[in-house]
Copies of this chain bind each other. A is one copy, B any other.
Amino acid sequence: MLYRVNMRGLTVTKEDGSSYRGLGGRALTTRVIGTEVDPNAHALGALNKLVIGPGLLSGTGAPNAGRLSLGGKSPLTGTIKESNVGGAMGHKLGRMGITAIIIEDVPQDDKLYVLKVDMQGAVLEEMSELKGLDIYDTVARLQAKFGGKVAIGAIGTAGENKMTAACIGFTDMDGVPLRQAGRGGLGAVMGSKGLKAIVVDDAGAPLVKFADEAAFRAGAKKLADALLKHPVTSQGLPTYGTDVLVNILSEAGGLPTNNFSSGRFAGANDIGGETLNAICKERGGKTGHGCSPGCIIRCSNIYKDTAGNQVTGGFEYESVWSLGANLGINNLDDIAVMNKLCDDYGVDTIEMGVTLGVAMEAGLAKFGDSKAAIELLREVGKATPLGRVLGSGAAVTGQVYGVRRVPVVKRQAIPAYDPRAVKGVGVTYATTTMGADHTAGYAVAANILGVGGKVDPLSSAGQVELSRNLQIATAFIDSTSLCLFVAFAILDIPEGLEGIVEMCNARHGWNYTLNDYLEMGRQVLREERAFNTKAGICDDADDLPDFFRTEPLPPHNVVFDIPREELKTLYNF
C-alpha cells in the first residue's frame, strides 16, 4: 500500500502499490523516480518527486534493519538520488505496511504543510507557523502537538530556502533529530514542495507477517551472531563510533586535510574516536548509542559540553572529518557546535565541511580557524547571500569564488577518504550514480580495514573490481533497510550474509538465491545509470577533478592514476 501526496491539489490518495510490489528501499525509490520522473525535470519543479521507501526488512525484528530510503532527482547533482537514513521512521512505516510515500508536484501558494501518517491514513495539515524554524524547534513543536512517540522527518530553514546542500533530519529512538538523509539536497526538494515535515505514528500497527517466521528468526540469528562476533561491529564501532576512523585514516595517509592538501592531520588524535569516547565518558555523554530500532552495533553517541549539556550526537567520522581535519580544525567541541548547526539548519555535514574547505581555499577564513568557520556556517542559517552560496554546496562555492581545487564529483562533495590514497573508494566516487559517495561502494573496508580481503590502497590494481562488487552488493543492502555497517560482518563471515538472504526470503515468501539478490543490486544500478544518462550525464562524467590526477598527496605523494577507460569498465556486468 502506498500514499501518493499531491502538493498542488493538497490531496492524498491511497493506492495498492502493486506496480512496485517486491521492491524496497533504494530499489523502490529508484524504480519510482526512474518510472515517474522525467530526467530533464528541474529538481525543484513540479515534475520532480520525493519518494520515501522503507526496505524489504523494515518493521521486522531483523538486526539493524532501521534504515529508510529517500529518493528523487537531486538538485545538487542533477542525477538520480537515494539518500538513506537511520532513526525511528523506517521501522514504523514497515510495521504499518506502507510500501512508499510519493510526494508530487508543488504547491500554488507559499504555505507550509505537514504530512501526518497513522493507522487511520495520511493527511496534509497546513502549519505555516513552522515557517522559519530550524529542525530542533520544528521537532519540538511537532512533538508538543503529536506526542513524543511519533517519528518525525523535517527540514530546517536550509530546506525551506531550497539550498542544494539541504538534508532532511529524522528523529532517533529518543525523539532527537540526530539522523539525516544528508546527501544530494533532498531537503531542498522537500522544501520546494512546501512540505515542512512528515510525522509517522504507528500506534495500533499490527506485527509484520512472515511467510515463514521460523526461517526468518533463524536468518536473523545468523546475522546477529555475525555482528556480535566481528570485531568492527562488536567492538570498534560500539566503543568509539565511526569516529574511530580518524586516526586510522590519518595513519594511512588518506585523511583529507586542509581541503585535500594532505592525507595526514597533525591534530588527528585530538578529534578521533578515542578522544571522543574519553570526552563522552568524562562529561556524562554516551557512546554505544543505537540510532534505530533493532540496532545491535550502536555506533552513535551523545556529545555533551563541559557543563554537561547535550551539544550534538550521531557525531560521525565523516562529520568530524569534514568540519575538522578538512578545515585544519582540531577542537572537537567547536566541531560539535558546527555539527549541531548543520543538523539544525538542515544541511549535509559532508557537503558543508567540504564547502567550508573551498571557502577557506578562497581566503574567506584561515584553515584551522574554528571561530571563523562557525561564523561562516551561521551565514547559512541567516540565508545571507554568502550563506546561500555556502548552502548551495562546494561546486557552487568554488565557482562563485573562482577556486580551482574543488573536490566534487558530479557536483557533490567528496567525502572523508582521499581517493589518491584510498583508490578503491576513489573508483566509487568517480563511478557511482550518486555523485561522490563513499557509502555507494565502501572500498575503504578492503583498502584500509582489511575487511572483505585486502587490496593495497595505493595501487591501482584490483580497485575497479573491488568497487564494482561493493556497489552491486550495496545497492541490494540499501534496498533491505539494513544498515550498511552489517557489511563489515558479512564480508568476513559468510553466515551473516546467508542470514540476510534467508530473512528476505522468509519475510516475503521468496526462494531467491544470493545471486538473485545481487541481480537486484545490478538492476538498481542499471536503472539509476539510465536515468543519469537521460539527464545528460554520461559515462565520461565518471572521473575525479583534475587535481587528484596531477597533485601528489602527502605523505605518500600519490596521485589518482586509474585511467578513465578502466573506470568505464565498472559497469561491465
Contact = CB atoms under 8 A, between A and B. Distances in A.
A537 B41 CA distance: 17
A164 B45 CA distance: 25
Contact of A406 (B42, B106, B389): B42
Contact of A384 (B38, B163, B385, B404): B385
Interface string A253-296: 00000000000000000000000000000000000000000000
Contact of A546 (B45, B389, B402): B45
Interface string A532-571: 0111111011110111011000000000000010000000
Contacts of A545: 42
Contact of A536 (B164, B534, B537): B537
Contacts of A327: none
Given A40-B564, A385-B389, A400-B389, A536 B546 contact: no
Interface string A23-44: 0000000000000001111101
Interface in A362-404: 384-386, 388-389, 392, 396, 399-402, 404
Interface in A50-109: 75, 106
Interface in A501-544: 533-538, 540-543
Nearest to A43: B404
A142 to B, nearest CB: 24
Specify how many copies of this chain sit in the oligomer. 2
A534 B47 CA distance: 29
Contacts of A540: 39, 533-536, 538
A177 B44 CA distance: 40
A349 interface: no
Interface string A161-197: 1111000000000000000000000001001100000
A38 B546 CA distance: 9
Given A545-B42, A547-B45, A402 B537 contact: no
27 contacts: A40-B546, A40-B564, A42-B404, A42-B547, A44-B402, A45-B547, A106-B404, A162-B402, A191-B402, A192-B402, A192-B404, A384-B385, A385-B386, A389-B400, A392-B399, A396-B396, A396-B399, A396-B400, A400-B400, A533-B538, A533-B540, A534-B540, A535-B540, A536-B540, A536-B542, A537-B541, A538-B540
9 nearest A-B residue pairs (beta carbon) = A162-B402, A536-B541, A538-B538, A385-B386, A385-B385, A536-B540, A45-B404, A388-B400, A392-B400
